[in-house]
Amino acid sequence: MTPGRHRRTTERLLVPLLVLGLSLGSAAIAQAGPGQAGPDQAGGGPAADATVVDSTGQPGRTVALTFDDGPDPRNTPRLLDLLGEHHVQAVFCLWGQHVRENPELVRRIVSEGHVLCNHTMRHENMSTWSPADIRANLRATNEVIHEAAPGAEIRYFRAPYGAWGGTPGVAADMGMQPLGWSLSVADWNRPGTDVLVRRLMDGISQGGVVLLHDGGGDRSQTVEAVSRVIPRLRDEGWRFTLPARSG
């Protein structure tokens, strides 16, 4: 092996190790931060566990519905109408930018008993961000949510694209439970309501967390699919609940 090739090989090995070391170090720093309530706190009580939760944590036929990328003036009101009709509580993972544009919808989500989730300011991919940059974005997002709905609890955080990077430790330290999912039906592709209904009915598992979207475009198929799936699941003995909090 020539020295040049050897060096390249070494670099190939060292760079991932370095990145791994940095990210582990970052997570440790984020989790070692102060846990007491402060301006960062999301109103979710004490620091949450950094585990990414993807289940209800309850036995039997329980399922949690979560809706990302809103609030949206076209889809969210219709979705809220139908959730209210069926007495189903859900989680809404909000973009800060969309909260600014539709603050009255955040107040409606909260007043109708649903639960909030921070989904960043503008749907940023934070997989390579430093803990300080992550914290600044999540804090700004919580601030605009609280401007819209003062005192509202922001119980969860969900990383856009599931690109978690160092976000779970920071979110947990701010009192938000990192929230994953067990079923995604790619509703953003708008495959047709029948396809969405079939994917949901086939894919739902006991204790599952379902990822759907009420923002980011026309989500009328999602809303229609949810309106058909809720009564069918109820008939089959399913109960709608919230995702677990591990902390």
Residues lying near Zn ion in the complex (CB under 5 A): 68-69, 160
Please give the residue whose beta carbon sits closest to Zn ion in the complex.
Answer: 68
Which one is catalytic: 68, 69, 72, 214?
68
What are the CA-CA distances from residue 120 to residues 7, 68, 156, 167 (Å)? 40, 11, 11, 10
Write the DSSP assignment of 110-130 as a string of letters.
HHTT-EEEE--SS----TT--
Do the Cβ atoms of 110 and 116 come closer than 8 Å? yes
Do the Cβ atoms of 109 and 72 come closer than 8 Å? no
Nearest distance in Å: CB 93, Zn ion: 7
Nearest distance in Å: CB 123, Zn ion: 6
Closer of 41 and 66 to Zn ion (Cβ): 66
Do the Cβ atoms of 179 and 210 come closer than 8 Å? no
Closer of 54 and 69 to Zn ion (Cβ): 69
Q: Which letter does DSSP use for residue 53 in this model? A: B
Q: Which letter does DSSP use for residue 215 in this model? A: S
Closer of 124 and 173 to Zn ion (Cβ): 124
Closer of 160 and 169 to Zn ion (Cβ): 160
Known catalytic residue at 81: no
Query: Which residues are CB-neighbours of 107 under 8 A, at least 6 positions away?
Result: 148, 149
**Coil, strand or helix at 101:** helix
Closer of 54 and 238 to Zn ion (Cβ): 54
Which residue type, as a one-letter code, is found at position 222? T
Which one is catalytic: 98, 114, 119, 213?
213
Nearest distance in Å: CB 178, Zn ion: 14
Q: Report how far residue 26's alpha carbon sits from residue 129's, in angstroms, rounded to the nearest whole number.
A: 10
User: Using alpha carbons only, what angle is made at residue 73 by residues 233 and 141, rounded to the nearest 5 degrees?
Assistant: 90
Residue carrying structure tokens 């809404």: 92
- Known catalytic residues are 68, 213
